[in-house]
Chains A and B, each alone.
Chain A
Amino acid sequence: MTQAEIAVDRVTHRYGDRTVLEEVTVRLTEHRVGVIGANGSGKSTFARLLNGLVLPSAGTVTVDGLDTRRDGKAVRRKVGFIFTDPDAQIVMPTVAEDIAFGMRRLKLPEEQVRQRVAELIARFGLSGLEDHPAHLLSGGQKQLLALAAVLAPEPDILVCDEPTTLLDLRNTRRFSALLETLEQRVVLVTHHLELLENFDRVLVFDEGRLIEDTKPAVAVATYRKLMT
């Protein structure tokens, strides 16, 4: 049996001759993992490594035993990804259609798709908006839709890259409250430090290096010191 673990092993990543992640090694098994750090410190690159959107220049990333380089497709099925800009991740024209998208690609039976869409729409407070054009939703609703759509094919892990950066306070709280209810493992990159309060573990990046890996309170203190 393969264990439930994200294993980043001596990963270095370069864009051109610029090194943006250097010798990062970390094993993640916790239910809730936060990632913080300054702009440009490599958080997004780290997040993208976890579902194979970015392949490491050196080193390996495996998710529950699957290598992102070799088993990219299986990894992406296992790891859902939420981006910052909800507009850019909604790919279908209407709410119900976008939620159904991932399941249709997996060729799930139509009856099951319909039922799951209805379930998620109710759970994410989008009732009545089934056939609503996605582009007419508010920013907060769009991000909830993105979350519903990514959860629909039932990934085991959810990686979120600053999902609340473009949301107001109320929607940020709503989003994080929903995140809390998920049974999935979550890796959350964020500048909203208060969202990490109850997390199991928080990683701090600085200039491409993993400089701290500890409990939220300590990590946040390190980060604050870094920012002065």
Chain B
Amino acid sequence: MIGLYHPADSPLHRAPVGLKLAVLLGAMVVLFGVGGPVVVTVALVVTVVAYAVAKIPWRLGLAQLRPVLWVIGVAAGFHLFTSGPQHAAVVAGQLLVAVALAALLTLTTRVSAMLRVFETAARPFRPLGVDPARVALLLALTIRCVPLLINILGTVREARQARGVGRNPLALVTPAVVRALRTADELGEALAARGVDD
């Protein structure tokens, strides 16, 4: 889900990142602050239209939602029992729209452009000792580390299955932590080699 920029020629791709972020933030405030069936319905329609405007293939659009569907399902299920079907539908709609809009931002924005915005946003804090370039680097590394960690967990899980080790979570965590630490070590070395000095 992260870093999956989908190149296309659309007004949403051309819009300044700062503006997109502001709109996203505003939409979230209305969506969760005001809420209610009407707002959520309108938001759903607007989201679908926005995806169409951005020329995102519908398959790719749906793929953005797949990883969070179970979370939404659990949340909706919970509300179904505690506060009824209408509220459950509203909650599900809110979460769906929130994820879809956030995904739309990453689909229409290059990571580099996003990083530059954060770098600019961090600039006023320079007198407080904040290094804007470092903030951007930190964010980039965070984005970079998610697939690395997922990859490590996947490899360790496979190795564990291959050796027939049971469901003991310690057997997953220990080698995963060891590998993650080693990868962090190597990444640190690579950063130093590429001129990031502490």
Which residues in B have their C-beta under 8 angstroms from that of A224? none
Q: Size of chain A's interface in residues, with CB distance under 8 A?
A: 34
Candidates B110, B151, B189; contact of A135 at CB < 8 Å: B151
Q: Are B110 and A88 in contact (CB under 8 A)?
A: no
Give the A-B pair count, Cβ closer than 8 A. 91
Q: Are A105 and B196 in contact (CB under 8 A)?
A: yes
Candidates A87, A92, A101; contact of B151 at CB < 8 Å: A87
Q: Are B192 and A76 in contact (CB under 8 A)?
A: yes
Query: Using a CB-CB cutoff of 8 Å, which residues 91-145 of chain B contact chain A?
Result: 110-112, 115, 133, 140-141, 143-144
Candidates B110, B151, B183, B196; contact of A131 at CB < 8 Å: B110
Q: Are B148 and A135 in contact (CB under 8 A)?
A: yes
Q: Size of chain B's interface in residues, with CB distance under 8 A?
A: 29
| Interface assignment of A172: CB less than 8 Å from any CB of chain B | no
| Interface assignment of B5: CB less than 8 Å from any CB of chain A | yes
The minimal Cβ–Cβ distance linking A132 to chain B, given in whole angstroms, is 8
Q: Are B190 and A88 in contact (CB under 8 A)?
A: yes
Residue of A nearest to B183 (CB): A88
Complex CA gap A73/B195 in Å reads 7
One digit per residue, 1 when the CB lies within 8 angstroms of any chain B CB and 0 when it does not, for chain A 162-203 equals 000000000000000000000000000000000000000000
Query: Using a CB-CB cutoff of 8 Å, which residues 89-127 of chain A contact chain B?
Result: 89-94, 96-97, 100-102, 104-106
- Identify 8 new A-B residue pairs, CB closer than 8 A, beyond the known A85-B186, A92-B144, A93-B3: A72-B197, A76-B197, A81-B190, A89-B187, A89-B190, A91-B144, A91-B190, A94-B112
In the complex, 25 of the A-B residue pairs with CB atoms within 8 angstroms, ordered by the A residue number, are: A73-B197, A76-B192, A76-B194, A80-B193, A87-B183, A89-B186, A89-B193, A90-B144, A91-B141, A92-B140, A92-B144, A93-B111, A93-B140, A93-B143, A93-B144, A94-B3, A94-B111, A97-B112, A100-B112, A105-B133, A105-B194, A105-B195, A131-B110, A133-B2, A150-B193
